[in-house]
Amino acid sequence: MLDKLDLNTKAQELREKLGEDANSPVDIFSLVNQIKELTLVLYPLGDNISGMCLRDDQIKLIAINSSMSYGRQRFSLAHELFHMYYDNATGFNVCSKVLDPKSDNERNADQFASYFIAPYKSFRDAVKKESAGGQITLQNIIALEQYFGMSHLAMLWRLVSEGYLSKNSINEYSCGVKTTARNLGYDDTLYSPTPVDHRKRTLGHYLIQVDLLREKDLVSQGKIDELLIEAYRDDIAFGLCEDGGEVID
Ligand SMILES: [Zn+2]
C-alpha cells in the first residue's frame, strides 16, 4: 500500500490540477466538470457496488451508485478519481461499497478519497477546533462531515485512521445520525440518496459529443433523441422541465 503522505500529496496535486486549492472543502461534482473527455454516469448500482471507472486512450468514464447517500457518492467519486489518475494496474475497476477491508489498491483509493475530500492538515485543524482537545462526540463528527461534505461512515473511518477513534467505537457513533444532524440545524442532504426519479443520469463528455452531432447535422434528430434516451437524458430529448421550469435570478 502507498503511504499516507504520498496519497495526501497525490490528492493535493489533483485538487490543484482541477483548479481547487489544497485545503478547502470542495464541490467535487462541479470540479470534475473540469476534466475534459470525462463522462459521469449516475446509476443505482445495487447494494454492493459503490462505483466503476473505465479508462483507455478513447474513453474516460466514471459511474457512481446514486442509491448511496450523497455524502458517500462524493467520497466514491473521489475514490474513482484515484483509479482514473493514479491506478495503472488495469483500465477497469468495479469498486465495492465496503470501506474495510479490501485489496491494497482499493485501500489506496479510499485513503486518497478521504484526503481529497478532507486534506490532512485542514482535517487535523478542524478536529482540534471542534473537539477542543477533548473526547470527540457525535456532534463533533457531524460538524466535521458537514464541513467537508463526507459521508458519516467515511468520516468515522478517517477518525479511526488518524487515531481519534477506536475501530470498536464505530457502531456506537452510527445511530441517529440524520436526526442529530437535523436537530443541530444542518441540512440532511449528505445522508440521503438521490431522489428515485433522478437516479439515472449522464453528465459530461458524452452529452457534448451528442450536441456536436446535432450541431453539425451529422445524424437525424431521431438518432440524437435515441442517444440521449440511452443516456437517461429524456429531459433533453423531450425538452422536459422536471423541476418546475427555469428561473434566472
Ligand atoms: Zn476502487
Helices (H), 149-246: 152-161, 177-183, 205-215, 221-230, 234-237
In the prediction, which pLDDT does 244 show? 66
Determine the Cα–Cα distance for residues 136 and 127; give it in Å rounded to an integer: 8
Residue 85 grid coordinates: 489518475
Q: How far is the CA of 7 from the centre of ligand 1 (A)?
A: 14
Answer yes or no: is pLDDT of 58 > 70: yes
Average pLDDT over residues 6-15: 96
Average pLDDT over residues 145-171: 95
Q: How far is the CA of 76 from the centre of ligand 1 (A)?
A: 8
The per-residue pLDDT for range 128-157, each reduced to its tens digit, is: 999 987 889 999 999 999 999 999 999 999
Write the CB contacts of 58 (distance below 8 Å, at least 6 apart in sequence).
none
Q: How far is the CA of 73 from the centre of ligand 1 (A)?
A: 13
